[in-house]
Amino acid sequence: MTRKALFVALVVLLLTVGFLSVGDVQASEKYQILVSPKGLSQSYWLTVKAGAEAAAKELGAEIVWRGPAQETDVAKQVNVINDFVNKKIDAIVVAATDANALIPPLKRAHEAGIPVITIDSGINADFPISHIATNNKEAAKKAAEVLANIIGKKGEVACIPFVAGAATSIARENGFKEGISNYKNIDLVAVQYSQSDYATAMKVTENILTAHPNLKGIFAANEAGAVGAARALKARGKTADVILVGFDAAQTEIDAMKEGIIDALIVQRPYMMGYEGVKNAVAALEGEEVEKLIDTGVVVATPDNMNDPEVYKVLFPLKQ
């Protein structure tokens, strides 16, 4: 018998023997699932939310959407998790802002019998029952390959990761470094962090362009990095001289690709992450086995292929 079924049976028994009145019952008939993203405003996380909401509607659950406004606000997410553990939420689906700092509050949840599922960004612990994400290291190696081919496999390049302690940022930085090291005539001359902030990304790109006037390419490892780098290249009149490969597929990134500022995008499936995260949470609450690791994959989008059906549906998942 599932936890919810057991609870309902107990309520019926108490009502029958007169220990509990109908007015005293506060529990919802639906599972309550906390979905905690790393940020609230970027379109990537709003797509995650749409997927989570779709799964909740389909499965008769309810999601609570709580997280930090900025991806760098680790303390806020720690407080959110602790708060909902205290409130005895049914399950937690989380994209961790920090791979280590989120371990203690999530371990509290696990030890309290609350299923923990990580999406997008995991933690350095094995107790989450499922992790649903892009293989970020392999995706960044693909970005290195794409960038290398476009610049003719020679020249100076830069990498703009986002937050140093975030698992996804670490994996993408390492993957890009590993991938680009395969090209002996390409030099990685700069690595600077965007802090997942558009203005910061623009500033660090400007700094890189000033320090390295012969730069041939940039890999920007997330939405904010790609948008900020695109703005800097446009402002400097460098869009024809510096190849930009970005990550994710916000509308601003897609527009920049249409303009010829961004040359390629490594596109994840955030809708699928949100959907599968909630789906696995409900399955776990029903006592079902769930997959320990789900790789949601990536697609390389370019100005030439962006209207191909398979690429289009990944670029615009909410239009399907």
Q: Give the pLDDT confidence score for residue 20 in this predicted structure.
A: 34
pLDDT in tens, 88-129: 999 999 999 999 999 999 999 999 999 999 999 999 999 999
What CATH fold (topology level) applies to the domain 136-267? Rossmann fold (3.40.50)
Confidence (pLDDT) at 2 = 54
pLDDT in tens, 20-73: 333 322 356 899 999 999 999 888 999 999 999 999 999 999 999 999 999 999
Contact 38, 166 (CB under 8 A): yes
Query: Which pLDDT belongs to residue 27?
Result: 56
Q: Is the fold of 31-133+269-294 the same as that of 136-267? A: yes
Query: Residue 122 is which amino acid?
Result: G
Helix or strand or coil: residue 186? strand
Specify which residues 52 forms β-bridges with: none
pLDDT at 6: 46
pLDDT tens digit string along 177-220? 999 999 999 999 999 999 999 999 999 999 999 999 999 999 99
What pLDDT, on the 0 to 100 scale, is given for residue 320?
A: 61
The domain ranges of the chain are 31-133+269-294, 136-267
Reduce the DSSP state of residue 156 to 3 states and report it.
strand
Strand locations in the chain (E): 32-36, 62-65, 91-94, 116-119, 130-133, 155-160, 186-191, 215-220, 243-247, 264-267, 293-295, 299-301
**CATH architecture designation of domain 31-133+269-294:** 3-Layer(aba) Sandwich (3.40)
The whole-number pLDDT of residue 17 equals 34
How far is it, in rounded angstroms, from Cα 159 to Cα 173? 7
Dihedral (Cα; 72, 76, 77, 81), 10-degree rounding? 170
CA distance linking residue 48 with residue 172, whole number of Å: 19
Q: What is the pLDDT of residues 152-172, one digit of tens each?
A: 999 999 999 999 988 899 999
Buried (b) or exposed (e) across 59-71, using 16+ Cβ within 10 A? bebebebbbbebb
Please report the pLDDT score of residue 227 as a whole number: 97
